[in-house]
Structure 1
Amino acid sequence: MTQMTLSRRNFGFLMVGAAAAAMLPARPARAASGLVAATFPGSWEDAYRRVLTPLVSAAHYDLTIAPAMAQDQLAKVQANPDNPAYDTLLMSPGQGAVAIEGGLVRKIDPTRLSNWSMLDPAFQGEYGPTVTVEVNGIAYNPDMVPRPTGYRDLFENPAYAGKVSWTGFESNTAVMAYTQLAKIYGTGPGDMDAVFRLFQAHPEHLRSVVDSTNHQMTLFQQGEIAVFMCSTNNVAHLKALGLKAEFVHPKTGSPAAPVNLYLAKGSKHVDAAYDYMNAAISKAAQDVLKLPPTEMFPTNRQVALPPGISAYVTREQIASLTYPDWTLINKHRAEWMRTFDALVARG
């Protein structure tokens, strides 16, 4: 049975590659070029390696998927912008804004992307296409805790005491949740002192602070935690593993983060980078990426939303989600990071 499942899966990806090859511009045979594409670790890494590698190979390029969190991508490119560790970067608005302001990425030429016109205009960024929108909220195990209505429940309902995990301010998912908490318990999204006071008043929440969402997902699978802040596709991944996991839109709003591909300014493989971008926004790729276990929201408007995604969000709802002020976040993020880390260390 396992062998049959794997064979069907591989066949599906081969078919995607064949379909994409027909959609890509005709190119003469050439020597392979070693494109290095940064991708978030975990389910993103697995999906992009399996789905995009055959598409890029169809254009006669070699592709290396390099897993790294957005903050780590940024740090590595800042360290050597003329010879960057990655040719393309995958980032949410926070790190993307820093990369743009620092001159680390270049504006793209949309005419070099044959699939550009398939994107909704909101996803056609001058520095690169939006490949998905991550919709964030709260994941919980219904066998261990009741359904929360929002962030306030997690601190004020004893049912969640000791069962909630958080991450530091390096995580975009975490910082978006913290700006929401700052609005609930403070004067606005920048009042992070109110959030720090909240954690000081609830030290049990500090005991399950870990370094990443991937770490939280492991703890969730092991039954060591019952609640964590995440995106809809994190929940989809857990469900695909056969786990009890549900997603909640907080009543104060669901933070959302467009995820963009960027072309590193110092890239030596520009042609390959464009083919990679083109593959990532193609109907062939997004028709696969929208399915379990990833369930990434498709930015290509020719891709129909499957039930697993439309149950959480529709195309019409995308504009009404909560989009954080990343200028504000970037201005204070390093300071918030230091304060929170010290708080966790004392806790």
Structure 2
Amino acid sequence: MKNSDKRIKSAHTIIKQSALVLAIACAGAWSTPSMAQSKTLYIGMNGGIMEKTWVEHVFPAFEKENNVKVVVVPGTSSDILAKAQANKDKPQMHVMFLDDGVMVRAIGMGLCEKMQPSANLNEIYPAARFKDDMAAGVTMGMTGISYNKKMFAEKGWAPPTSWMDLADPKYKGKVLFQSMPSSSFGLHGFLMFNRIQGGNEKNVDPGFKAWPSKIGPNVLEYIPSSAKVSEMMQNGEIALAPLTPTSVAVLQDKGVQIEYAQPKEGSVVLMVAECVIAKNSEPELSQKLAAYLLSAKAQEAGLQYGSQIPSNPKSQAVGDIAQSRLKKFVSYMENAVTVDWDAINANRPSWNQRWNRSIESK
């Protein structure tokens, strides 16, 4: 091949390559929003059934509509709060789910920003709106008593009706109790026992003094979370444990012989609330996600696929089972009680030390 031919071929190659680069550049310049790179929002929440339900059935519609990926950072409320506090100046998460009492602490730490007004925020139960709209309840619930349906049937025991059933001698070594420092269920159970003993959230001495001789002897194990309830119920190791109707429903769907009982003294209202994390990198999109999660559409999916009781009363239950559970929840709310979170959070560290020293270490 002559040198002139080589130069011509080389020139043609350069022209083709330049045309290709130009085409790619033009394609990028004229790409539609749906073709643009999506953003990622990180949301802290409980793992397990809540994470599975939201990831599979709640987030996808929002992700598609907003070209965004929602990634869960799983953990207990205490875990999520600790992560948010550790990264307060440069948040790694955008939205977080916390139990209501922990959320009050988060707001006090300055970790949340005020939720923007929205139609969905206006629709939720008034009790689900935190002061100054710094947070909002996403799912509603209450802590009552769960019991081993199979064991009760075999023993001929009547279902429990009171928090004091946890102290009945026939359940010696058959009560599973969540540790108060790490679990809202354990905290609620202790505070209701304390009330029955004559105390309140500003005076827990009656509960601490009576526990070792009443409920204490019946407790087989103190656990940091409720993860072992299912296994120990199925194995016939335990008869009773504090739990929510939602948690019981989830285990029932898995075939666990467990039932919920509403104590005559009342269950304790337990919300899972959300807040938009202050100073996060996507404030507008984070607010949009938070508002969506309060919608009837989002919460209907949570109810249908995860037995999560909605905070938006416009949410409709799909199917007989979901309708029945929602109806029962409404009846449980009739005597459900709320606790004084300001008093609790002010004294929780000293209570935790006292609990570890005088109850779990015994």
Residues 1:269 and 2:282 aligned together: yes
Residue in 2 aligned with 1:341? 356
Residue in 2 aligned with 1:323? 338
Question: Which whole-Å CA distance do the structure 1 matches of 2:359 and 2:335 have between them?
Answer: 34
Q: 1:56-94 CA deviation, whole Å, 9 max, x = no partner? A: 311111111111111111112112201224211111221
Q: TM-score normalised to the size of structure 2?
A: 0.80
Runs (5+) with no aligned partner, structure 1: 1-26
Residue in 1 aligned with 2:123? 118
1:142 maps to a residue whose letter is: K
Equivalences for 1:117-196 in 2 at 5 Å? 117-125=122-130, 126-145=133-152, 146=157, 147-155=159-167, 157-169=168-180, 170-196=182-208
Residue in 2 aligned with 1:92? 99
Q: Residue 257 of structure 2 is aligned with which of 244, 259, 267? A: 244
Q: CA deviation at 1:36?
A: 0.8
Q: CA 1:337 to 1:44, structure 2 compared with 1: closer, same or farther past 3 Å?
A: same
Q: For residue 96 of structure 2, give the secondary structure of its aligned residue in structure 1.
A: strand
Q: For residue 213 of structure 1, give the secondary structure of its aligned residue in structure 2.
A: coil
Residue in 1 aligned with 2:347? 332
Question: Which whole-Å CA distance do the structure 2 matches of 1:335 and 1:208 have between them?
Answer: 22
Question: Which whole-Å CA distance do the structure 2 matches of 1:281 and 1:105 have between them?
Answer: 17
Q: For residue 237 of structure 2, give the secondary structure of its aligned residue in structure 1.
A: coil
Q: CA deviation at 1:133?
A: 1.1
Runs (5+) with no aligned partner, structure 2: 1-31
Q: CA deviation at 1:45?
A: 1.4
Maintained 8 Å contact 2:88/2:111? yes
Maintained 8 Å contact 1:56/1:275? no
Maintained 8 Å contact 1:107/1:128? yes
Q: CA 1:345 to 1:173, structure 2 compared with 1: closer, same or farther past 3 Å?
A: closer
Q: Residue 324 of structure 2 is aligned with which of 308, 312, 318? A: 308
1:116 maps to a residue whose letter is: L
Task: Report the structure number with the largest CA radius of gyration.
Answer: 2
Residue in 2 aligned with 1:43? 49
Question: Which whole-Å CA distance do the structure 2 matches of 1:177 and 1:233 have between them?
Answer: 17
* Superposition RMSD in Å: 2.2
Aligned length in residues: 316
Q: For residue 250 of structure 1, give the secondary structure of its aligned residue in structure 2.
A: coil
Q: CA 1:150 to 1:88, structure 2 compared with 1: closer, same or farther past 3 Å?
A: same
Q: Percent identity?
A: 23
Q: CA 1:189 to 1:115, structure 2 compared with 1: closer, same or farther past 3 Å?
A: closer
Question: Which whole-Å CA distance do the structure 1 matches of 2:266 and 2:240 have between them?
Answer: 18
2:311 maps to a residue whose letter is: T
Q: CA deviation at 1:259?
A: 2.0
Q: Residue 245 of structure 2 is aligned with which of 229, 232, 236? A: 232
Question: Which whole-Å CA distance do the structure 1 matches of 2:219 and 2:208 have between them?
Answer: 11
Q: CA 1:90 to 1:290, structure 2 compared with 1: closer, same or farther past 3 Å?
A: same
Question: Which whole-Å CA distance do the structure 2 matches of 1:224 and 1:331 have between them?
Answer: 36
Residue in 2 aligned with 1:32? 38
Residue in 2 aligned with 1:81? 88
1:131 maps to a residue whose letter is: V
Maintained 8 Å contact 1:154/1:161? no
